[in-house]
Amino acid sequence: MKAKRFAVYGTLRPGFGNNRLLQRAKHLGTERTKPQFKMYNVGWFPAVVQGNEEITVDVYEVTEPEIVKNLDRLEGAYRNNPSQGMYRAETVETSHGEADIYIWNDDVKDLDHIPSGDFTNL
């Protein structure tokens, strides 16, 4: 598999339980995105939608197809039918090149906004 990058912003980040799915991936760094998103608190995990704010992401390089499958499964993302999942994978530009980022497919009107754009800093 050709290396694929992921920009993760919630429970996949270091220090959270789901980061275990990225143990065999290479952590490339932590950074802020361009102001193109908005982050909300779903409860014990965040949701990101298109917007005009920066968010904090950790960028990983993945070389194993099984890791991609596990990430998509966790996020409820269906690459063959993106609108049907809880999230959909889109592309974001990072300092390490393009990366997949999971975008929330549902309404955010009843969710609390996270103005810092950093799930570790609520």
Residue 99: its H or E element: strand 97-104
75 has catalytic annotation: yes
In 3-state terms, what secondary structure has residue 19?
helix
HSE toward the beta carbon, residue 1, CA cutoff 13 A: 13
| Residue 31: CB atoms within 10 Å | 15
Residue tagged active-site, from 53, 66, 75, 98 = 75
Q: Which residues are catalytic?
A: 75
